[in-house]
Amino acid sequence: MARVWIFGADINTDQIVPGRYAPYMLKNEDDLRKYPFIEHRPEFAANVRRGDIIVAGNNFGCGSSREYAPLALRMVGIGAIIAPLFARIFFRNALNLGIPCFTADLTRELRDGQEVELDLEQGRIHTDDGRTIQLPPPPAFLREVWAAGGIVPFYRMYGRFPGEG
């Protein structure tokens, strides 16, 4: 089972990982795993489990281009991020790192801390109270990148960029 972490709207990359905690600023870059939401939600990094899901409000990941924001989320094993709208640089970074992102507003359908099961293949969430939520499928050209595990394996496998014939 995965746990749901609910976040509000306009979560920016400074809230995900403040610039002061960038790998550039750290003696040990692996320490990045300790810093997702270090100030915005200090209990997150210690309590998040592999496979947990972030369910957020509108415009998730706005702000800077720092890939270490989604990288920190990948390091703690975030299984998917669901939000009605993603800021574009964050979305590309998450895609490139192979973190599945779904465009849907589930902040009212799910509660913080709720146990759910995420079926990535079918794009479905099964909740602990017996509901099944169908997630809108991402466009096919993006699904191939996720299927490859990110843009680097995708490019190495196909020698081309997504969307190109």
Partner 1 sequence: MAQTLSEQILSRAAGRPVSAGEVVTVNVDLVMMHDSLSPSIIRVLHEELGAERVWDPQRVAVVIDHVAPAASVQTAEKQAEVRRWVRAQGIAHLFDVGRGISHPVLVEEGLARPGMVIVGSDSHSTAYGCVGAFGTGMGTTDIALAAATGRTWFRVPETVLVRARGRFRPGVSAKDLALKAARLLRADGATYAAVEWHGVEFLSVMERMTLATLSIEVGAKAGIVPPTGLLQTIPEWLRVEEGARYSRVVEIDLDDLEPQVSAPHTVDNVTDLRDLGRVAVDVVYLGTCTNGHYEDMAAAARILRGRRLAPGVRMLVVPASAQALQMAAEDGTLATLLAAGATIGTPGCGACIGRHMGVLAPGEVCLFTGNRNFRGRMGSPEARIYLASPEVAAATALTGYITHPQEVVEARYAEP
**Residue whose pair of structure tokens reads 């509000």 in the numeric block:** 8
Asked whether 152 and 146 are in contact (CB, 8 A), the reply is no
58 binds partner 1 (CB under 8 A): yes
**Is residue 151 near partner 1 by the rule CB under 8 A?**
yes
Question: What is the identity of the amino acid at 160?
Answer: R
In angstroms, give the least distance from the CB of 152 to partner 1: 5
Does position 27 interact with partner 1 (CB under 8 A)? The reply is: yes
How many Å apart are CA 128 and CA 152, to the nearest integer? Answer: 36
Residue 54 three-state SS: strand
- For partner 1, which is the closer residue by CB, 52 or 67? 67
Q: Where are the alpha helices (DSSP H) in the chain?
A: 13-16, 44-47, 68-75, 88-97, 140-148, 151-158
Nearer to partner 1 by Cβ, of 36 and 63: the residue is 63
- 3: contact with partner 1 by CB under 8 A: no
Of these, 26, 104, 133, 148, which contacts partner 1 (CB under 8 A)?
A: 26
Tokens found for residue 32: 């990045």
One residue of 92, 114, 116, 135 binding partner 1 per CB under 8 A: 92
Q: Which two tokens stand for residue 44?
A: 């997150």
Maximum alpha-carbon separation in the chain: 46
- The least distance separating partner 1 from the CB of residue 100, rounded to whole angstroms, comes to 16
Binding site for partner 1 (CB under 8 A): 10, 12, 14-15, 18-20, 22-27, 39-40, 58-59, 62-68, 70, 85, 87-89, 92-93, 96-97, 141, 150-152, 155-156, 160-164
